[in-house]
Structure formats: structure tokens, C-alpha cells
Structure 1
Amino acid sequence: MLNLHNAEFIRSAVSERDFPADGLPQIVFSGKSNVGKSSVINRLLNRKNFARVGGQPGKTIHINFFLLDKQAYWVDLPGYGYAKVSKAERDRWGALIEQYFASGLLSVGVQIVDIRHKPTGDDVTMANWFRMSDMPWIVIANKHDKIKKSQLEGNLNIIRQTLLLPEEVPLIPFSAEKGTGKDEVLARIFDFLGKDGPA
């Protein structure tokens, strides 16, 4: 059983040689730079400022590795799609993310999208990377608290169709603000890892 309270920052990776390769499972979080990725991670871990919430999107420019209870890594990929970053910087992030996917270290993927909007081309590219990894992945539709109940089903259908999600990929409505969807996301992650749920 994993104790989510026992979580520590390990390192920021700027190249492949910085990736931990000790055989522990790696749970990877990705999303657009303004989708609330840090807030989702903080909510899942019940920590306020564990993953830094930047006032300015696009602040995560490395791959950040956190160790959970000395049993698994949570991996925070750079946020993508932020227009005010130079093309050279975006290319560097893209190359780093590509190196990570090519490393074979991924155990479970978690892609975060905005439930209010149709996924972007960058979201589709990220979904393709997860699909090609052949590892289980989950899509979190964040900002559930910002839409009406009547919009939920239609918005989820648009996300599933746009990302071409296979049926076995869970699409989970989530609110980092209120905690909606937290238990289901954690249950899915631990199920994919073959571990008991969090302590």
C-alpha cells in the first residue's frame, strides 16, 4: 500500500541521463501549460504546494520526478502549447518529452485536458504518444466544476472522439478545486500498477 503523504521531490531532468532508471514504476502527468496540471497533482496528493502552481503558464521547463513512499515515481512533464514561449524553447521541451517516451520508463500515463474545450492539436499529439507507448493511460477532464451538468456528457464525447481514445482508456471528469474524480483516478492508477490503493 502506498502512503501518498510520503512524497518527496527527487530531481528536475534536463536530459535523458537525469531520468531515474532504478526499475520503480513511473506515473507520468502531462497537459497543456494552463490546464491546471500542478493543481491536479496537488489535489491527488492532498498537498497544497507540492507541485508548484505557477502564476504564469509554461513554468515547468524540465521533467520533474517525485518519489512516492519509495515505491513509485510521479513524473511531471513540461506543460505544452504555451504561445509566449519561443519556438526554440518549445522544440527543446518537445525533444525532452520525446526522449522520455523513447526511454521505455513509462508505467502509467495521465493526460490532463480542459473539460470545457475541444482538445487542441497538441493534446492530440500527446494522446498519440501515450497510445504508441502501449502502456495504460488515463485522461483527466479537469475543471469539471466550471461546466453545467447538462454539458458533461457532450463535452466528454467530444474529448473522446477528438483524442481517438480507445474504449479501455478511462476518461474521468475531475475538479482540482473540489476533488471530484480524485478517488476514481487514484483507484485506476493503482489498479494499472497492480498495487493496493493509497493508505
Structure 2
Amino acid sequence: MQIDKIKPDNSPVPFEIPTETPEEKTPQTPSYPESLKKIFRNRQNLEWEMGTGFHSGPKGRRKGYVLTLWSVMASAIDALLLIAMSCIFMMAFLKIIKTPITQGLLQDFAVIYVLGSWLYMITTRFFIGSSIGEAACDIRLGKPQERMSSWYFLKVVFRATLVVATGIVVLPLLSLIFGKDIPGSLSGIKLFSLK
């Protein structure tokens, strides 16, 4: 076995790191393929707040009487929508069974209105987090982490049932007088303002 001797001519040269002064340093941006540049060109749409409507940070949100007044405005919008839907259902019902308009029509209309409002509040709040009136007034039912909970649906049903069982007007009126969300306190799921 023969051992080669290292000669100074063919000895390994240590790797030299070029030294640069801070003025000479230039920031190097990595090169990405065009497909990635197209996907991530606007990162604003990827932020969590944009999809939920909630924004972080301590800002002056509507609370107390102001939130209650906006909630009453949302209820008025929802009431008008429900009256219109109830009228349409009542006309369709009368047309299908071909009965004349009787004195019991007002009672039938009230039953359709109450059942329609109960179903409307449950379905819209469960699927979109707010009714149409609440969405117009920038109000949501429950925080995002509450909406992801498995108990959210039951709390929404309990809240809607509580409001309908007390006569639809009683709890919102008490909320307006006391300046807080009384159905939310009783059901465990409160209204929140986005603004």
C-alpha cells in the first residue's frame, strides 16, 4: 500500500468567504416560479379576518345601548322580510286549498309568521352567523370560535325558541330598556358588533 504525500502544489485550498462591508450588502430575494407568484400575489385575501368579518385589536366596538339600538334596527328589517314571506305563504296556501278569506285568517297569518320567524332565525344564523337584518347592520351571533363549536346549533335553537316563546317583542324590548343582550345572556350566545 502506497501513501501519497501531499505536496504544497496540490493541497486543498480552504473555502474562502468573501467579506463584504455593510454598505456593499444587497438584499437578495429568492426566485419563485411564476405559478407561485400568481397564487400569492395578493395575500390580503388569505387573512383570517377577511373571511370572518372580525378584526383584531382593541377598537371601539358598539356596545350597550348602541348595540341594542342596532339590534332593534336589524329586527325591524327582519320583521319586514318575515311579513312579506308570510303574506306570500298565506296567499299560496289560500290558493292551493281554494278557501275563501275568513275571520280566522289573522290567526292563521300569526301562526305562519311565528313559525316562519322561528325557522328563519335558526337557519340564517346557523348557516351564515346572522340574519339578513343583522348582516345589514354588521352584527353577528356568536364569536367565530363559538360558531365552530358543536353546541352552536343548540344554542341558536334555544335562543330563537326563547324569543318566540316570550312573544317575539318582549325580550328585545327588555334588551332595549336595560341596554344589554338579554336573550344572549339567557341562551349563552350573544350578539357582537363588527364595527
What TM-score range do you get, normalising by the shorter chain? under 0.3
TM-score with structure 1 setting the length: 0.23
Query: Which has a greater percent of strand?
Result: 1
TM-score with structure 2 setting the length: 0.23
Query: Which has a greater percent of helix?
Result: 2
